[in-house]
Structure 1
């Protein structure tokens, strides 16, 4: 997982005060406002920006009256350095929170994070007390360059741009419903006459499920949900039959709030992966996490 970084020559690396002065002036639209925010004089802000422009060999601002307007080069540069400053700030906060350098910022999918990962994190914490895991929910792939995440949990295929992959598990699904709706796990044919609940990120899940049983899917739409957790609750309250990942359905089947609605467990449309950005050095915390999660395979 290791990568070797080549840093730009030092003459191309501007000072942090110059970057902060430029970013504040660009965001606020004036050197005066930037000076107030950074507790500097207006002339100090102007000098920092001039030094930065001389170093880059390009104009970053064009004056319009008393306002500063970004040039095309300035707009592009602002986007890039805001990402750098955000990551630098996050790294500094993480270092302060955990002086041993063990912070791991992980983007997770809600269902996987809640039902599979969270119950196991205590085991990871015991094995790696030096690592602080920070979890945030993200429903779709994002550009790692614009975020401070070290890694993410991805579902689907290997289609995350600029990412390295560790395969975790396929998603298997089971049809479930409230006990009042189904007495026993019977013939899949019976589900064609029932109300079906759908997830917006798996719009053809039921069609594939019926096809796997050599059945034609029923016509007509059912209720649509954006997360498995809300769809499971709808099923618990008798609103229809849900197609849930086995790790989401398991606790509800165990406590009796849901019942298997038809025989069989089917593979879903994709797999779960741990992904991290290509071309960025792998922090020790991510290395420890990836090694730990590998010991959990095959995931149950």
Structure 2
């Protein structure tokens, strides 16, 4: 059967423009010039004999025909992308594509991956540095989520709980802090630029009231921890992510840790999460977190519930 189809490039240009509402933004996303995308859209409309877009202010909006065609094209491109991903994954052998924050990858997952490969040398782990809300656009099979101070678990019905998470203020030894009657005073509070409510959320759960002479903001959790190590001030950190520095005495946790039950979770994003490589990795991750969590609690004064 001979299929009458427009070029795939025209369909990609149409889908991106329809989704983004702008030829310019679509051109940047798919790596083409503004003129090239405009010509592809014009050719597609002429070939179909129907208007797909109309002007709205400085942007574009879909006509009713365009809206119906967008659903068809989006579903078709998703099916094609998923099929191609499975083809590549099968060619690589057993693998699982994991999306997680850069901080968790750098400070915990990658340093522990050697243990996984020693136990399961035939399974390849592919990593993407992303946030859970963006991971669906990144071909990931599973997303790892841990920062309960910043946001609740997404897709709760699908989430697989792995371990508790515990947060607390951390600072370099000798930092001029003061704790008295539920009040925690610090010379400088280190905040995350994109999670501005983290300190407020920690105060609500811990019962502490914090004061600081100044505040320094950084755009990444990893940088907040590094700033605490450098003596700039006090940062909020998850226990797993600073375990090594606490054990080595490079950081102290003067208020202990506030635990969030089941706060570390896996979000399945594809059917590969339930296949053997995914099941093996998730089981290993749960066991490894339990092991390191036990080691961390043995090194600390205990977890405050």
Give the distance between the partners of 2:50 and 2:256, measured in 1 at CA.
63
Q: State the partner residue of 2:122.
A: 130
Cα pair 1:163 1:276 within 8 Å, conserved: no
Give the distance between the partners of 2:41 and 2:208, measured in 1 at CA.
70
Alignment root-mean-square deviation, CA = 4.2
Cα pair 2:142 2:266 within 8 Å, conserved: yes
Match of 2:100 among 95, 100, 108: 108
More displaced stretch, 264-273 vs 284-293: 264-273
Q: Is 1:241 aligned to 2:234, yes or no?
A: yes
Larger Rg: 1
Cα pair 2:142 2:269 within 8 Å, conserved: yes
TM-score, normalised by the number of residues in structure 2: 0.66
Q: Is 1:95 aligned to 2:86, yes or no?
A: no
Closer/same/farther in 2, CA of residues 181 and 143 from structure 1, 3 Å limit: closer
Give the distance between the partners of 1:257 and 1:24, measured in 2 at CA.
51
Q: Is 1:152 aligned to 2:143, yes or no?
A: yes
Give the distance between the partners of 1:201 and 1:63, measured in 2 at CA.
35
For these two proteins, the number of residue pairs brought into alignment is 258
Q: Is 1:165 aligned to 2:153, yes or no?
A: no
Give the distance between the partners of 1:188 and 1:172, measured in 2 at CA.
22
Match of 1:177 among 167, 171, 175: 171
Secondary structure of the residue aligned to 2:211 is coil
Give the distance between the partners of 2:4 and 2:102, measured in 1 at CA.
37
Q: Which runs of 5+ in 1 are unaligned?
A: 1-10, 35-44, 51-58
1:122-169 C-alpha deviation (Å, 9 max, x unpaired): 22222222211100011242473x441111102347742486221112
Between the two structures, name the one with larger relative contact order (CA 8 Å, sep ≥ 6). Answer: 1
Give the distance between the partners of 2:207 and 2:52, measured in 1 at CA.
67
Q: Which runs of 5+ in 2 are unaligned?
A: 16-36, 55-62, 294-305
